[in-house]
Every structure is written in C-alpha cells, then in structure tokens.
A and B are shown apart, each in its own frame.
Chain A
Amino acid sequence: MTDASMDNAAEGARRTISLYADDDLTRKRNAAEKRFQAYGIAAIAAGLFFLIVLLVSIVGSGVGAFQQTFITVPVYLDEAKLDKNGNRDVEDIKKVSTFGYNPLIEQAVFDKVTENGIATPLAKRGDMKALLSASAAAQVRDTVIANPDLIGQTVEFRILASSRVDGYLKGRVKREDVERDKNIDAEHLDLVDAFVASGVIQKQFNVDFILGADASESRPEQAGIGVAMLGSFFMMIVVLLLSLPIGVAASIYLEEFAPQNRWTDMIEVNISNLAAVPSIVFGILGLAVFIQFAHLPQSAPLVGGLVLTLMTLPTIIISTRASLKAVPPSIRDAALGVGASKMQAVFHHVLPLAMPGILTGTIIGLAQALGETAPLLLIGMVGYIATNYPGGIAEGFLSPNSAMPAQIYEWAKRADPAYYERAWGGIIILLVFLLTMNIIAIILRRRFERRW
C-alpha cells in the first residue's frame, strides 16, 4: 500500500528531472562517494608518509654506523719495549700488556704530525691518546704475538680512531660542544682536519660492525652486532626445529583426523587465544619452567629459542590449518577413492599441496620471533654483554649470548652518544633480515601456490 502511494507522490516530481543534469540527491551521493575515496587516499598517504619518515630517520641515523674512521700509521715495534730478552719467545712477549703498547702507537701518530709538518700546540706524545681507540693496543699486541718476528720492524697498521674523532667526521661531535668535553679538545679537532687532508685519517666501510663482537662502554668504535647475530641464529634454529614439526603435526591432526566435538572446539579456541597472548607472558613462563624448574642455563639461546617456540607455535598452527583447509576436498576424496589410507591421502596429496602456505606461515612466524625482545628480558638475554664468540655448536646453544633486538636495546641505553648511532645501525641490519625473510615467503608463495 505504502509503496503504491509513494510511487504516486514521487511520479509528479520525477517527471521534471532531466537525464543530463544531476539532481540534488544524485549530486549528494556522488559527492559522498568522492569524499569516501578521498578519505581512503588520505589514509594511504598518511600511512606512506609515516613509513617514509620512519625509513628516512632510521637510515639517516643509522647509516653512519657502517662507516668507521681509521688511522693508518706505521708503528715501530721497539724490541727494547716488547721483547727485552731478544729471544722472540711468545711467553715473554705476552708479559707485555696492552699498556706497554700504547706509547708505541702514540709515538707513531706523533711522528706523523712531524712528518706532515702539521703545526699544532699538541707537542707531547701523550696528547695523541685522545685520537686513538683503546682497542688499538690490543690490535697491535695480537699481531705481534701471532707474528713475533715483526718485532724490530716498522709495520703499517690500520687502527680505529676514538669515537670522538669518528663523531667529529660524521658531524655528531661539534666544535662548539668540545669545550666542556674532557675527552677531546679543539686542538685535537684541528689536528684531525690536517690528518684528513693528508690522508692519514680516513672513513672506511666497517665490516666489524656487522661481524664483530660487542665492546665495553669506553670504546663504542669497536662494537659490532656479530655475536648477537649468532645468538639470534641459534635461537631461530631451535624455533624452527621445534615449532615446525610440532605445529604441523598438531594442525594435521586437528584438521584431518580429530573428531568434531567440544574438546577439539575448545582446543581450537585456545590456540586462537594463544596467538593473541602478549609475548612477555611467554617470557615469564619460560623463566618459571625452563630456568627455575628445569635449571637450563640463564641467557642461553636454547632457552630463548624454547620461549620463542611457544610464542610461534600458535601462528604456525593457524596458518598451517588454513592452508590445509584450502586444499579442495576432491583431492582427498580421489585419493581415498583409489584405495589410499587416510594417512596416505594426507601425506602424499594434501600436505605437499599445502606446503607453500605452511612454509610462508613458518617464515612469517620466525620473522616475528626474530624481532621479539620482551620475553628475552626475563630470561637474561637482555643486559648481557656479548663479547665472546661461541666456541662451537653446543656452546652456541648453551653459553650465554644476546640477540639482535636485545643488543639494539642495550646499545640505545648506553651513555656514549656513539652507541646511539650503532643502535640505529643495528635496526637497519635487523630490518634487512626481516625484509629478506618476508621476500622469501612471498617468492615461495608465488612460485608454488596452486589455485583451484
């Protein structure tokens, strides 16, 4: 009834509408659509803008860590200082500590000042100390111990400059700030300028940042992320070896064999819930179960891996079940129809077809675990100074280590601003890893995925 009366009422109005000119209502609807599209574009633009800001600030702050300032000087390895007996016995040479090497290196740099005719008020050998990294003496000492015959000769070394000099060349340390800095003076900076002009001091690519070990707070120029990278590597092996078989076995059972009843429903709901549990909860669980109850060693990548396995399992189970579900039932039916057992149908036909999806899920789960810091806080992997390379595979799992995100956090809270740059550099490396893993996941999916 109402329809008919409305039609009658509208008829009179509609007749006068031109097909060529939009009426008010249409214009309104069109405008609403335009507005909605504009909102969408604005949202995407905002997202892109923040992504770009983020990437620019990360790369801008962190790219400096990949370059390091080196001083190239010929050091005269004085026999009178390094090998008093003159018999080149390694045991005797080892008795000279790094403190015995410092004067030789300072002298070498000081000679460079005279050689290049640089006019500087720094007239003492000891004044050169501010330019040099504390690691220089250890570097020269290690070379001499490995090669005692070098004593008495003049050998060219490429040694690290101190973090203040490095910061000056990178623009982090400014002239107006050094007045109150007791580690370096303006005269030193003048000298650095002169050395840069004569090529003694150079900025070069720094492999040790990627492969090296962490260093103490007094020598940020030496610190690298390499040991923490190994820690992350061993953790990821544990996660992969445990979570892939357990996760896949659990999902195959739940998806293909388990009866549909209240129990399996409850398990399903709980798996979905577990995927949303904050990762710090797994850390507490790990502390209670693996360290306090099972007495596994603290700070060990094995424990980190076990905790991250717990965290990754739900992700893997959910994605595996989704990809098992995506295999059409006709394939199962066909296999069963020609006489395959249920297990044969699953392992010969369903699982291979679901594999790309499972691998993608696993890689994404691993990438998530790689960037996780919170659970590691509680099992002692944050706050540990990763200065030792693990001695072997077993040690790699069991001896204390750090992980990449934990190392970044550790650097970010240290006093010397040079460590701040290294934290950003570490983020770049971590992002490169995550990006690579995600790209591998995408490639796997693209190449092997089948659509029905």
Chain B
Amino acid sequence: MKFAKLTASTLAIASVASVAAARDNVQVAGSSTVLPYASIVAEAFGENFDFPTPVVESGGSSAGLKRFCQGVGTEHTDIANASRAIRESEIAACAENGVTDIIEVRIGYDGIVFASQLNGPAYTAFTQADLFNALAPKVMVDGALVDNPHTKWSDFNADLPAEDILAFIPGTKHGTREVFEEKVIAVGCEETGAMAAMIAGGMSEDDAEDACLAVMSDGRAVDIDGDYTETLASIDANANGIGVFGLAFYENNTDKLKVATMAGVAPSTETISTGEYPVSRPLYFYVKKAHIGVIPGLKEYAEFFVSDEIAGPDGPLAAYGLVSDPELAATQQMIADEQVMGEGM
C-alpha cells in the first residue's frame, strides 16, 4: 500500500507541475443545450485559425458557471456556456474568487417545441392554457378553482383528441424546465384566470406566482432528467404522450416526430426570431476578461462565435437550429470593445 501511495503522490506532483505550465487552448464548459453550437464553432475555429481547437465540455449551465467562477488562472476554464442568464448569486460567487470582469455574450435563441409520435393522436395545436389545464394541480372549472379533474385532453378542449394526458417534460435540473414553467404553465395560469382566483382566495401575489409554476406529479407529467434522446424513446413507447424538445432536436428527427403549434404559431427559426412563437429562450456564453491576452485565441474564438458567417441567419448555427439574434452587430461590437457586464448596460 505504501508503494501505491507513493506512486499516486509522485504522479500527482508531476502532473500538477505540468498543468501549471501555460495552456495554449481555450477551455469551455457548461450547458448541454449550448454544447452542439459551441462544438460546431470550435471545430470551424480550429480549421480556420492557427490556434488549437478549443476544448468544449458539457455538464449543465450551473456546473459550467461554477467551474468558471472558481478563479482566475490557466487551470480554470475561460468560457462558461449557459442556457440562461447568469444569476446574481453566481456573480457574487465569482467576485469572491476574484473573477470580476465577465463579458456576457448572447449568441441567439433556442426554441422549445411540443412534439408527439408521427402517427400518434392528432396533437397538432396547443395553447398555454391547454397545457396548464392538463398538468397543473389546481385549475379553473366553471369559474371555480378546483383540484385538477381532467384525465383526457378532450375534457377541457373539445378540439384535442380524447386521449389520456401524458407529458414528458424536462427534469428540474434542466434549464429548459424553467422556460417551460415560466413561458407555458405560468402563462396558462394567467390566461385561464387561475392566478386571479388564487389571489382572490387570499394568496399573496408572489405566492400565487409560485403556485402557478407547479406541475402535477401523479404520473401524467413525467420528468426526464436525461437528454432529448430519452424523451424521444419515451414518446416512441407511448403513442398518447407529448414531449418537450429543443427545436434543433426536432428538426433532426422529423421522421419520427410531429410538432404542435403553440397558440396557433408553428415553431420555426423565423417565427421564433420575430417573437411570434412564444416559447423560446436566449442562449449565452460568458468570457473571463482576465484571460484575454493570456490564453491565445480566446478573444478570436469569442469574435468568431458571433461573426455573421457563423451565428448569422445563413451560418452553420442557424442551419443546426439556433435562432440568430437580430442584435448580433451590437454583440460583435461589445466583444471587440471587451465590454464587461455592468458597463453601459
């Protein structure tokens, strides 16, 4: 055992020494939603520049930002990908470790779609109210707030098929869940008047808002903690199920899935960029300004990411399913000026 300890510690010392030496590639970690886009950019970056291909890892927005905020120095990551904006608490955690100058880059928008088996029941048009009526624990029936009595879609909307309610939604660790709750369930809550009824019933406004985000956990809404492939497998096995997917994932699997409109709008890069399709969210990455000039290629990578030929409407990211940001020019300027968060915002 002594030998084992000795070996382990020698190896540890040897490797720490070599890691401390300068690093010549950009290191990126974070959201699995941003990962495909980041890896497309990293690949093209490696092809077009003399810098080595950046290293991209996934792990989730929160995990990526946590690693990002661990400190300044070559052993820490340079960029964090996130499918949501950085939180105040994370900025504070960053500052505690000396990471103060952060450049926030919005790369575009990601659409969230509702899809079901291609040959399954005709789930072709939903509204936020439909999903709220199907999945919320308390809904409005005949003007009164009651425990959700619905078991079939047709119970509350005669246009929907008479099938048992079954929805595969992203688990709570996903950034997508937040969007689903805020842009679908909460909106449905307001539309059906359930929120007003809750406030009238004596709840404070904040409590009512929180209560509006709740989703039933009696088996009709199944949390998927894995990837969209897992949701797809669940949809494959359940003809009456609907699933929540990213637009890019759906567009790659049109041979198995059919998509539903939301509030009458079909999801596509066009309807999302104009804001007609309601369920979308911005995607970001965060750059550590202290590393610019230390890590070769970092600024070039950031500039390349948001350049017109990559992130523009005809670029490879849009082809993969990213909805390009109409304010891309401003973002490009921001990176050129190395403008950090809090400055001029």
Contact = CB atoms under 8 A, between A and B. Distances in A.
A384 B56 CA distance: 7
Contacts of A387: 39, 42-43, 46, 53
B12 A242 contact: no
Interface of B: 3-4, 7-9, 11-12, 15-16, 18-19, 25, 32, 35-36, 39-40, 42-44, 46-48, 50, 52-53, 55-59, 75, 226-230, 248-249, 251-255, 258, 309, 316, 319-320
A295 B3 CA distance: 20
Contacts of A217: 36, 39-40, 320
Contact of B226 (A180, A413, A414): A413
B309 A99 contact: yes
A297 B19 contact: yes
Contacts, number: 122
A356 to B, nearest CB: 25
Contacts of A320: none
Interface of A: 94, 97-99, 134, 137-138, 141-142, 173-174, 177, 180-183, 215-219, 242, 245-246, 249, 289-290, 294-297, 299-300, 302, 306, 380, 383-385, 387-388, 394, 397-398, 400, 412-417
B36 A177 contact: no
A181 B254 contact: yes
B317 to A, nearest CB: 8
A297 B57 CA distance: 14
Contact of A218 (B40, B57, B258): B40
Contacts of A249: 3
B208 to A, nearest CB: 37
Given A173-B255, A417-B253, A297 B47 contact: no
Given A306-B11, A415-B249, A216 B55 contact: no
Given A380-B57, A385-B57, A306 B8 contact: yes
Given A216-B40, A413-B226, A177 B53 contact: no
Contact of A417 (B15, B25, B252): B252
Contact of A297 (B9, B15, B229, B255): B15
Of A137, A290, A383, most buried by chain B (CB within 10 Å of CB) is A383
Contacts of A383: 32, 57-59
B146 to A, nearest CB: 40
Of B4, B43, B229, B319, most buried by chain A (CB within 10 Å of CB) is B43
Given A181-B254, A217-B39, A296-B12, A94 B50 contact: yes
A412 B4 CA distance: 37
A400 B3 contact: no
Dominant secondary structure at the A interface? loop
A58 to B, nearest CB: 18
Contact of B248 (A98, A294, A397, A415): A415
B36 A216 contact: yes
Given A177-B254, A218-B40, A412-B229, A98 B47 contact: yes
A400 B43 contact: no
Contacts of A177: 254-255
A289 B8 CA distance: 10
B255 A181 contact: yes
